[in-house]
Amino acid sequence: MVPYKHEALTDFSKEENKKAFQEALKKVESELGKKYDLIIGGEHISTDEKITSINPGKKDQVIGVVSKANKELAEKAMQTALETFETWRKWPARLRADILFRAAAIVRRRKHEFSAWMVYEGGKPWAEADGDVAEAIDFMEFYGRQMLRLDKGYECLAEEGEHNEMYYKPMGVGVVIPPWNFPLAIMCGMTVSAVVTGNTVLLKPASNTPVIAAKFMEVLEEAGLPAGVVNYIPGSGSEVGDYLVDHPKTRFVSFTGSRDVGTRIYERAAKVQDGQVWLKRVVAEMGGKDTIVVDKDADLELAAESIVYAAFGYAGQKCSACSRAVIHEDVYDEVLKRSVEIAEGLTVGEPKDENYMGPVIDKAAFDKIASYIEIGKQEGKVVFGGEVDESKGFYIQPTIVADLSPEARLMKEEIFGPVVAFSKVKDFDEALDVANNTDYALTGSVITRNREHIARAHRDFHVGNLYINRGCTGSVVGYQPFGGFKMSGTDAKAGGPDYLQNFLEAKTYTEKL
């Protein structure tokens, strides 16, 4: 088997790539507005209650109308997944991995089409959507290979006259609850990691992006995944989500999303229910308040570019997005000025028209971000952006708020939008103190030429993913395993060598010879 290597990104400066992408956008546009059923054990089930998925950049455009599960259908899906587990868990790991490799090949063939769905349903600009698809392919290629490695088990030590081994076993039915912001990559990664390890899955996609998940179900079927291994049950987080998290037969919950929902799931899953004979595992990857620190001795152009692109890529709707710039007082004014100049060059508008930044995901996000901009006006100075417009879609201009105290709400709370907070510090010690002063610890960057400061950051900047002399977004599967500390979650390190163990139990076998 060829070694894993990440999927190349599309070069949109090439005319033929641009044309191919525009064709995909046209094709997908002609397919908008269709109905999508639940899929339980391969059976398509239509319900009266629906989720209407819209284009956040053009609110009157319906992407699809998706059937919504209720508790009864969630229970039916659970029973199906329990039954299917009894056959699926016996499949050899190699055959399970083959399905991931086939699915990766199918998505690779339909790459621009999947990107186009994300342009419409997720409001993703072209390059962001292309990166999302590449990451989904990477997860499948990487986890497939990791499963083959783990399948070899661990060669234990042994006394004379005994044989010892330790090997990994699937666990049971997992509830997979992804967010909307990487509607293909994270949803796919969370699903296939649970599946390749031999578990069966109840997939409750995010309510803003259920159509992309439905499209991925088509891929899994085409790749040969048996019916009932992944059951697609869109529904309300509080109804279907709570029901399945509480369910005594749920063996694990794999969640990525906000801190509020993640901590709620963690708490509920901890309660042992009547008839439950295990402790549920919970993987909960949550929010961030990610910082770029700029030192006195630094490449200031690199600093400004890193801040702007990490803050405003996909309108700041990445858990890794730069939402704070903590800058040495000697270079603060210059970095702020250059950041504003670079931000002035960003275009905002419908993602299908190749703008740098599209809308934010929905009305609730729009209102929340707009209210933080108002708070920013009280706490600091809005030096760029600040305008919001929801007439056609949920558009918010890239916004830079300067001169904030480290204790300001804008410096502490996750906004999850195109707003970056600037704060001035007197030296590198204070910069690290400020960088570490939130409840989150997901990503962070340091821009500096000072080797001693790099060594200090390496040791003391408390984040799951630390970057030196580059922005804090854009981790690549297998290259930068991803996950954070503190309230950013369980540090499961998606795309890393230990991730699959979250969904496996290790069994030790000893035989007297």
Give catalytic residue positions: 285, 319
Q: How many CB atoms lie within 10 A of CB 110?
A: 19
Report the alpha-carbon distance of residue 335 to residue 348 in Å, rounded. Answer: 22
- Minimum CB distance to ligand NAD smaller for 225 or for 286: 286
User: Where does this chain touch ligand NAD (CB under 6 A) — which range of 36-44, 56-64, 258-266, 451-459?
Assistant: 258-266
At its nearest, how many Å lie between ligand NAD and the CB of residue 186? 6
Would the CA dihedral through 419, 425, 428, 432 be positive or negative?
negative
- Minimum CB distance to ligand NAD smaller for 269 or for 298: 269
* Near ligand NAD by CB under 6 A: residue from 125, 170, 172, 179: 179
- 147 within 8 A of 154, measured Cβ to Cβ: no
Span 182-221, contacts to ligand NAD by CB under 6 A: 186, 204, 206-207
Q: Which residues contact 344 (CB under 8 A, 6 or more apart)?
A: 384
Span 466-485, contacts to ligand NAD by CB under 6 A: 482, 484
Report the alpha-carbon distance of residue 203 to residue 214 in Å, rounded. Answer: 10
Kindly write out the interface string for residues 38-67 of this chain, putting x where it contacts ligand NAD by CB under 6 A and - elsewhere.
------------------------------
- Minimum CB distance to ligand NAD smaller for 197 or for 208: 208
Q: Does 180 bind ligand NAD (CB under 6 A)?
A: yes
Q: Does 295 bind ligand NAD (CB under 6 A)?
A: no
- 20 within 8 A of 27, measured Cβ to Cβ: no
Kindly write out the interface string for residues 397-416 of this chain, putting x where it contacts ligand NAD by CB under 6 A and - elsewhere.
-----------------x-x
Q: Which residues contact 441 (CB under 8 A, 6 or more apart)?
A: 462, 463, 464, 484, 485, 486, 487, 488
> CA-CA distances (angstroms) from residue 90 to 84, 87, 171, 196, 510?
10, 6, 12, 12, 21
- Minimum CB distance to ligand NAD smaller for 238 or for 510: 238
322 pairs with which residues across the strands? 290
* Near ligand NAD by CB under 6 A: residue from 146, 181, 423, 465: 181
* Near ligand NAD by CB under 6 A: residue from 123, 144, 257, 351: 257
At its nearest, how many Å lie between ligand NAD and the CB of residue 179? 3
C-alpha 174 chain-centroid distance? 18
Would the CA dihedral through 201, 129, 26, 61 be positive or negative?
positive
- Minimum CB distance to ligand NAD smaller for 110 or for 204: 204
- Minimum CB distance to ligand NAD smaller for 189 or for 198: 189
Q: Does 256 bind ligand NAD (CB under 6 A)?
A: yes
Report the alpha-carbon distance of residue 248 to residue 278 in Å, rounded. Answer: 9
Q: Does 270 bind ligand NAD (CB under 6 A)?
A: no
SS3 of 437-476: CCCEECEEEEECCCHHHHHHHHHHCCCCEEEECCCCCCCC
Cα three-residue angle 11-15-21, rounded to 5 degrees: 70
Would the CA dihedral through 507, 202, 209, 256 be positive or negative?
negative
At its nearest, how many Å lie between ligand NAD and the CB of residue 68? 11
At its nearest, how many Å lie between ligand NAD and the CB of residue 110? 23
- Minimum CB distance to ligand NAD smaller for 24 or for 73: 73
Span 110-169, contacts to ligand NAD by CB under 6 A: none
Please name the amino acid found at residue 267. Answer: E
Kindly write out the interface string for residues 422-451 of this chain, putting x where it contacts ligand NAD by CB under 6 A and - elsewhere.
--------------------x---------
Measuring CA to CA, which residue among 439, 424, 411 is closest to residue 333? 424
- Minimum CB distance to ligand NAD smaller for 292 or for 335: 292
Residues that bind ligand NAD (CB under 6 A): 177-181, 186, 204, 206-207, 237-238, 241-242, 245, 256-258, 261, 264-265, 285-288, 319, 414, 416, 442, 482, 484, 488-489
